[in-house]
Amino acid sequence: MIKSYNIVLSHEDWSLFTERYPKTELRVLMKNRVSSLGQENIIAEVYTSDLLTLNNLINWIKENKRICKVKILERINTKNEVRALLLVTAKLEGGISEILINNGAFYVSENIYEGLENWFIVIDDKTFKEALAKLKEVTYTLKYRELENNLLSARNSLTSKEKEIIYKAYKLGYFNWPKEIDLEDLANQLGISKTATLQTLRRAMNKLVKTYVKENNL
């Protein structure tokens, strides 16, 4: 049976650098991974308290033997934090993702903070047992739990009507501050009642927020 799991682990990797900081000062979200020819290309979002922490993290990542390349695609400095988008190329061999991929994981997401790697995966429960045995051989600490709600679900996908209405609301400036169009005018544009417009918008926004929370492991 296909199930969703959360695995929390630590092992010999650059992720151990994050144990020097609380989650509020440093966390890394590995957003997307593409594997090819023994390597994986990863898009990572980094949230740090200051630029020095970001630079120290990048230097630490570069020193790891599995890392082939690290590039800063974008950096945003705000009053309270520094956010950066990194492109990372790493060798698959010796990594946690290699074990998960080789054991048939359909979905893999990772959030790193305080020296721990939080993995969220979708996998057949039979092959998960095999993956778990291999993970225990290469980790310092390892905990896991089955998630009640599947990480992959069509329930969180917008319907065609929800897509139409939320896109129209966005294009007409309904979400701007101040609003460029109010609910009544938006409903008139759509040819439906104010109540139907508001209900559909709330359903769509609820789905989008759920998807964001899951994808970012919040």
pLDDT of the residue at 36: 84
> Which pLDDT does position 216 carry in this prediction?
66
Residue in the block written with tokens 């997401």: 109
Q: Which regions in the chain score pLDDT beneath 70?
A: 152, 154, 215-218
C-alpha 19/C-alpha 108 separation (Å) is: 22
- Architecture in CATH for domain 154-215: Orthogonal Bundle (1.10)
Q: Tell me, what's the pLDDT at 213?
A: 76
Alpha helices in the chain (DSSP H): 51-63, 96-102, 125-138, 160-171, 183-190, 194-215
pLDDT of residue 107: 86
pLDDT of amino acid 147: 87
Q: Give the separation between CA 192 and CA 42, rounded to whole angstroms.
A: 44
Please give the pLDDT value at position 207. 86
Q: Which residue from 171, 152, 172, 170 is spatially nearest to 214, judged by alpha carbons? A: 152
Domain ranges of the chain: 2-146, 154-215
User: DSSP assignment of 6-44, as one string?
Assistant: EEEEE-SSGGGGGGGS-TTTEEEEEEEEEEETTEEEEEE
Q: What is the pLDDT of residue 215?
A: 65
pLDDT reported for residue 218: 65
Reported as a single tens digit per residue, the pLDDT across 83-133 is 999 999 999 999 999 999 999 998 888 999 999 999 999 999 899 999 999
